[in-house]
Amino acid sequence: MDPELTDIATRGATALAGLMVTSAWDRVKPRVAAMFGRRAESISEELDETQAELAATPDGGRESAIQSAQGEWQPKLRRLLANDPAMAAELQAILDEFAPKPTERSNLLHNDLKDVTVSGGIVIQAGTITARDIGS
C-alpha cells in the first residue's frame, strides 16, 4: 500500500478517536460512515459502539481507550483507502476541517525554574530564559 495512504489512515484513526469525545462528533460521524458506501449503516453502528465505550470510560482511563479506538479504526481506514484511494481526499477534508491544528512555537515561552521562594505571600522566582525559549 502507498505510504501516503497508510499515513492518512493512521492520522485519520487518531483524529477519529479524539473527535469521538468532542462536540464535533455528531458532524464527523456521518461523513466518516458515508465514506464506506453501502456499508455506511453498519459502520455508523460500529462508530456508535466505539464512541459509547469512550464516553463511558473514566477520565483516568480515557487515553488508553482512545489508543484502543485508534487501533480498531486504523486498519479499517487503511483497507478502505487501499480499495478506494479516492477516499483519501475525503478523509483529508475531514482532517482539515475537524482535526486540531498544531500550535505555532513562536509564541511559546519556557522557563526552567531553578529556585522558587515564597516570602510574605509574594512568589520570588529565579530562572534563565534563552533565545531558544522565546522562539528566536
Band (pLDDT 50/70/90 cuts) for residue 136 is very low
Predicted confidence at residue 82, as pLDDT, reads 94
Residues 56 and 22 occupy one common structural domain:
yes
Predicted confidence at residue 2, as pLDDT, reads 84
Predicted confidence at residue 96, as pLDDT, reads 93
Domain count, the chain: 2
Residues 94 and 112 occupy one common structural domain:
no
Mean pLDDT for the stretch of residues 39-64: 93
**Distances from the Cα of 47 to the Cα of 19, 42, 129, angstroms:** 11, 9, 47
pLDDT tens-digit series, residues 74-123 = 999 999 999 999 999 999 999 999 876 665 444 444 445 455 555 555 65
Residues 64 and 111 occupy one common structural domain:
no
Residues 64 and 32 occupy one common structural domain:
yes
Residues 122 and 76 occupy one common structural domain:
no
Predicted confidence at residue 59, as pLDDT, reads 84
Residues 20 and 87 occupy one common structural domain:
yes
* Domain region containing 37: 3-98
pLDDT tens-digit series, residues 7-23 = 999 999 999 999 998 99
